[in-house]
Structure 1
Amino acid sequence: MRTITLIYDGTFNTYRWLKAMMWARNEFHDLGYKIKYASIFDYVPYPKSTKVPYEGIKLKWDTIGRFDIVFLAFHHSQSIIGQNSEKRIALVKSLKQKCKLLCWLDTADSTGTCLFDVLPYVDLYFKKQLLKDTNLYTNEFYCARLYSDYYHQKLGLTDESLASIHYHTALKEYLHKLRVSWNVAFYDRMGGKTWIYKHPFKFADPNVIESDSERTIDVHYGGSNPKVYGDVVGYQRKKMLELIMNLRDITHPDVYKKISREEYLEELKHSKSIASPFGWGECCLRDFEAFYNRAILLKPSMEHCVTYPDLYKPFETYIPINWDFSDFENIIKEVQIGKYDYVAINGQQNYQKYRIGINARKLFAEHVVDQLQIS
């Protein structure tokens, strides 16, 4: 029996994502792996995710002793270790001497914004979404994302603030260490904060809409303010707002109107399709809202990346949109006449298989264990 020890930054967001390991702990055990936190204190994340005042103290407790396999998860912008390269490298160097296999779990939302300065010192480096062509990681991207670089090159968009943040590129000799972890389909957000503290080994399951309710809304997009993301990273959200508002003879809610959470959820139940552009990263919680509401997911093409679970099968589980949005209006018209109704059903069934299906935990554990293999 091998042991995987989880060491994380203490933030609420990282805990809600890392919790998937505990959710499938029995299935890991069946595969010969015991899952544990480094200390009892790790069962209680700090509620304010952008500030963890005890991170240094927590690390002293968590890094005592020797380990078998270690999973390190520190957010690149919400933790001291994530923000400080010197302290980050010192941590991984120290732990490398105390364990048999050291794995860095990149908690960033995108295929980019990587902390590759740790690559020489860790055995494996996991990403939620990994570029299919890993050779691209040897290059720098504008605002550290492939899609933001695309809009910078194609449209000349700039963001001095985000562009000033430096992220390390990868040396080709370390690319073999890259692995796929899991995306935010495994992110405990349904039950709220009280649920999180009461149920350290469970996920709150979504309310799956399996009946064919009346779909009076052709396309739904309840996007957050694109200004939050800046002109480059937020371009897709801004463009989608403009395009939807200019559609004629297409039913959609007022994309700029603020409504309650209850009204929002009710609208989703009656939507034929849900549009979900990239934000800080490619995967979005709105993707999964489309799946469990049996709506057609409309999303900029995900063909550049691989992720787990594989929910993004073009024209099978979602409808890909060109990054330049040249096909957007035509796709909406095809949605309106029912051309892609089958995609809503396929997308939901695929989502259920990996997230709440009878074998979901087993599939998750098998994926992680498979990624741990070193050739």
Structure 2
Amino acid sequence: MIRINILVGDESHGLELFNGYWRPIFLHHELFKGLQIEFKFFFKISKHIYNGDFLIISSRFFGKLTSDPKNNFVLKFLKNLNKKNIKIIWFDLRDSAGTTQFQVLPYVDFYVKKQLYKDFKIYTKNLYGGREYSNYYYENYGIKDKDLYLMTKLDLKYKEKILLGWNLGVRNFKYYAKPKFNKISLFLKNKIEYYLNKNISCDELVLFSSRKKKYNLFANNRTQISRNTVRFQRELFKRKINQTIFNDSLIDVNIDFNNFYKILSETKILLSLFGWGEVCYKEFEATVCGCSFIAPEMSNILTWPNIYRKKVTYIPVDWSLNNLNSVLSMLIRNDDLRYKLVINAQNEIISVSKENGKRFLNKLFRRFIN
């Protein structure tokens, strides 16, 4: 039996463990049983994390310590791990394809990230603001940050260590719409199943795809982001959007979480702009609720599950947002296209728990163990 220990961070606290980022491991219990892999989760460093063949480390375990590429605490911990008879797999859970933690590459066996640039040469360059889009706004609009983004450029000799993992679209979105009592009840049930080494009960995803909608557009992209080059796209939106042509829309309107899914199910289009990263929960939540989405161009990104396939699962807008109003107007009028986009994107999300998800995980974990 191959023992894989997982040192997790705040992405797995409480109710998140079985229904959040690590959900694929529980979804595909039979796959890992066939691969003779058993997992054990740890929430703190102890001698027991070394009792295995592999140690997966969530970057979020160390919090902001990984923001500084020269932080000695993290690197010293990894150097000491190298003295143990255990392989190290670093899971980079940072928000953007550009915000990497390549300083750990010399000390780990594999480096897994939930989204990557297709062109690895980008990682060998200095990206202003740490992201390709923040660099774009610096070069084309003269936007500058108060503090320079600190990053370690990729040494291409470590390229083969870098693998694409899964993104935040694997979570159980049905679970987060449940009343709190039901959530706690399911969590306790899952925890008992986990400790008894039984299959975890995973809800089937409930999807909506009604053509009848109350609102044309929902666009609430907050600008409380400290880094200027990251925030700028959302500020640019306020200058570019022509609100007079979008009736029956919710633009810069705060919706409380209890009504969020209901509003999405009643809306034709969600506009989701880049924030700290490219991939956001909102696109997946909209898809689950039967709302098509428009987002900035994503053809430079590798990610899975991939609901960012141009004109197949979503409609992109240019990073300049020059075509924003025309793209929104076109999609609002086109019921058939919106319906097709939603169904295709929903099928991608559903595939996580089906054969497609099994193939993805099988390929990834066989790379680790072979």
Instruction: Bin the TM-score by the shorter chain.
Output: 0.7 to 0.9
Q: Within 5 A, what are the aligned runs for 1:322-333?
A: 322-333=318-329
- TM-fit CA distance, 1:9: 3.4
Per-residue CA deviations over 1:149-173 (Å, capped at 9, x if unaligned) read 1111111111214x2x412111111
* Among 142, 145, 149, the residue aligned to 1:156: 142
Q: Is 1:75 aligned with 2:66?
A: no
Change (3 A) 1:371 1:140: farther
Counterpart in the other structure of 1:265: 261
Q: Within 5 A, what are the aligned runs for 1:294-373?
A: 294-338=290-334, 340-341=337-338, 342-354=340-352, 357-359=353-355, 362-372=358-368
Contact 1:291 1:297 in 2 (8 A): yes
* Among 26, 36, 41, the residue aligned to 2:40: 36
Change (3 A) 1:81 1:235: closer
Contact 2:115 2:167 in 1 (8 A): yes
Contact 1:129 1:307 in 2 (8 A): yes
Counterpart in the other structure of 1:208: 207
Instruction: Give structure 2 stretches of 5+ with no counterpart.
Output: 192-199
Could you tell me how far apart the structure 2 residues matched to 1:114 and 1:186 are? 21
Change (3 A) 1:10 1:349: closer
- TM-fit CA distance, 1:112: 1.8
Could you tell me how far apart the structure 1 residues matched to 2:223 and 2:62 are? 20
Q: Equivalent residue of 1:126, what SS?
A: strand
* Among 159, 170, 179, the residue aligned to 1:186: 170
Q: Equivalent residue of 1:258, what SS?
A: coil
* Among 190, 202, 208, the residue aligned to 1:199: 190
Q: Equivalent residue of 1:281, what SS?
A: coil
* Among 11, 21, 28, the residue aligned to 1:17: 21
- Counterpart residue identity of residue 7, structure 1: L
Counterpart in the other structure of 2:73: 87
Per-residue CA deviations over 1:49-93 (Å, capped at 9, x if unaligned) read xxxxxxxxx21344444x212211122872556667212122222
Change (3 A) 1:257 1:336: closer
Counterpart in the other structure of 2:194: none
Contact 2:49 2:55 in 1 (8 A): no
- TM-fit CA distance, 1:262: 3.5
Contact 2:54 2:86 in 1 (8 A): yes
- Counterpart residue identity of residue 337, structure 2: Y
Q: RMSD in angstroms over aligned alpha carbons? A: 2.8
Q: Within 5 A, what are the aligned runs for 1:80-119?
A: 80=65, 85-119=71-105
Change (3 A) 1:111 1:81: closer
Contact 2:95 2:279 in 1 (8 A): yes
- TM-fit CA distance, 1:202: 5.3
Q: Is 1:231 aligned with 2:215?
A: no
Counterpart in the other structure of 2:197: none
Could you tell me how far apart the structure 1 residues matched to 2:114 and 2:275 are? 15
TM-score (norm: length of structure 1): 0.82
- TM-fit CA distance, 1:364: 4.9
Q: Equivalent residue of 1:306, what SS?
A: strand
Could you tell me how far apart the structure 2 residues matched to 1:62 and 1:255 are? 51
Change (3 A) 1:64 1:30: closer
- Counterpart residue identity of residue 213, structure 2: R
Q: Is 1:171 aligned with 2:155?
A: yes
Could you tell me how far apart the structure 2 residues matched to 1:85 and 1:353 are? 39
- TM-fit CA distance, 1:290: 1.8
Q: Is 1:248 aligned with 2:244?
A: yes
- Counterpart residue identity of residue 161, structure 2: K
Change (3 A) 1:348 1:2: same
TM-score (norm: length of structure 2): 0.84
Q: Equivalent residue of 2:216, what SS?
A: coil
- Counterpart residue identity of residue 234, structure 1: R
- Determine what percentage of the aligned residue pairs are the same residue: 23
Q: Equivalent residue of 2:274, what SS?
A: coil
Q: Equivalent residue of 2:220, what SS?
A: coil
- TM-fit CA distance, 1:285: 0.6
- TM-fit CA distance, 1:241: 4.3
Instruction: Give structure 1 stretches of 5+ with no counterpart.
Output: 43-57
